[in-house]
Amino acid sequence: MEIQLSMLILEVRDLATSVAFYRDLGLDVPDPVPGRPVVIHRMGSGVSLLLTTSFAATYDPAWTRPAGGYQQLLEFYVGEDSVVDQRWADLVAAGHPSRMPPTQTTGPYAAMVDDPDGNVVLLTSDEAARVDTDDA
């Protein structure tokens, strides 16, 4: 069996704030269930995005929240260059810090913003990141 990435788990400080950000990004993230510190959104690619406020702290006694910088980029293929422009503008207008305005890099056309916990979200029109290539 081929090993596959099935879920990306983000430890967040405030579940409602993170849900709002990823909804602003364009994901159909469900409402949290009262009393549960987690929400899961399964994307069309089959990969799930899980937002939680307590998994690592509960099960890894050595876990600490990173104090600065970032260790990963979450790349979201959003479509055409104009969609990258619009999503970036909407997120920045909503108060999310921009790390890079829409730019033609040496690779894809891309922009970067921070989510509420400082995770860097890369918005691209890079066809290599597209998963629904059968939909023509």
In a domain, 118, yes or no: yes
Q: Is 110 inside any structural domain?
A: yes
pTM exceeds 0.85:
no
**Structural domain harbouring 45:** 7-61+69-129
Evaluated on CA atoms 25, 75, 52, 70, the torsion sign reads negative
Whether residue 48 lies inside any domain: the answer is: yes
Residue 117 lies in a domain: yes
Q: How many domains does the chain have?
A: 1
Residue 133: the pLDDT is 62
Residues of the chain above pLDDT 90, percent: 65
Indicate the length of the chain as a whole number.
136
In a domain, 103, yes or no: yes
Q: What are the beta bridge partners of residue 40? A: 50
Distance CA(25)–CA(110), nearest Å, equals 14
Characterize 79-101 residue by residue with b for buried, 16 or more Cβ atoms within 10 angstroms of its Cβ, and e for exposed. eebeebbebbeebeeeebeeeee
pLDDT tens per residue, range 53-79: 988 888 898 888 888 778 788 999 999
**Residue 2 forms part of a structural domain:** no
What is the distance between the alpha carbons of residues 133 and 91, in angstroms, rounded to a whole number?
26
In a domain, 75, yes or no: yes
Mean pLDDT on 25-33: 95
CATH of the domain at 104: 3.10.180.10
Q: Is residue 135 part of a domain?
A: no
Quote the CA–CA distance of 7 and 117 in Å, as a whole number. Answer: 18
Rounded percentage of the chain residues whose pLDDT exceeds 70:
96
